[in-house]
Chains A and B, each alone.
Chain A
Amino acid sequence: QKEVEQDPGPLSVPEGAIVSLNCTYSNSAFQYFMWYRQYSRKGPELLMYTYSSGNKEDGRFTAQVDKSSKYISLFIRDSQPSDSATYLCAMRDYGQNFVFGPGTRLSVLP
């Protein structure tokens, strides 16, 4: 079983749609959770960071963590064409081991 799995696969939505991106993980030692946005041929950019179960909101973005189910989500409201990118989940244990999901490529169509 892969340590971090991410779904859905490549996703295309119309502008204004609500987008839901999800990751599941197997290692219960993971305590810190991040979402990154990566534009083509650029470095991943940190979008959201959280370390507790529950929701965290920042503008149009909401990160949700359910540690009991080992499941995290990123919701994007009122999606814009500029949101078109690859979204990576990442997580860390109490050490310095950051593990990344494979990414979901999102296309928001005008």
Chain B
Amino acid sequence: EPEVTQTPSHQVTQMGQEVILRCVPISNHLYFYWYRQILGQKVEFLVSFYNNEISEKSEIFDDQFSVERPDGSNFTLKIRSTKLEDSAMYFCASPRDDNEKLFFGSGTQLSVL
């Protein structure tokens, strides 16, 4: 059983549209991370989130991105106005309670047309 689940598995959207990617942890994780991986490239850090606040963010995480924990369990990444270059796999990740090992969800493949 996965530690972290993500929905949808695949999202297709038109350029300029808003998308919301969802992450659901199974147990009560404290930290959450979003990573991005453009096809054939490295895993890139976007943002970390702790106790309902952004802990750290990268240069990629500009004003078009936002993260929320709307209901205490789901964890969302929103891209307000998608660009072609946002096409990538987006992974949610969370450590276990020991905060040492990072576990990834299965990812959402975002395709911006």
Contacts and interface: CB of A to CB of B under 8 A. Distances in A.
Contacts, number: 53
Nearest to B42: A102
Helix, strand, loop or mixed for chain A's interface?
strand
A91 B63 CA distance: 28
Nearest to B10: A41
Helix, strand, loop or mixed for chain B's interface?
strand
A9 interface: no
Nearest to B105: A43
Interface stretch (B11-19, B43-51, B65-73, B79-87): B43-51
Contacts of B104: 36, 43-45
A10 to B, nearest CB: 11
A63 interface: no
B76 interface: no
Contacts of A97: 48, 56
Interface centre among A41, A49, A51, A99 (most CB of B within 10 A): A41
Interface centre among A32, A46, A49, A98 (most CB of B within 10 A): A98
A96 B43 contact: no
B106 A43 contact: yes
15 contacts: A34-B102, A41-B107, A42-B106, A43-B104, A45-B104, A46-B103, A51-B100, A88-B43, A92-B100, A96-B56, A97-B56, A98-B45, A98-B102, A99-B45, A101-B42
Interface of B: 31, 33, 35, 41-43, 45, 48, 50, 55-56, 89, 91, 93, 95, 99-107, 109
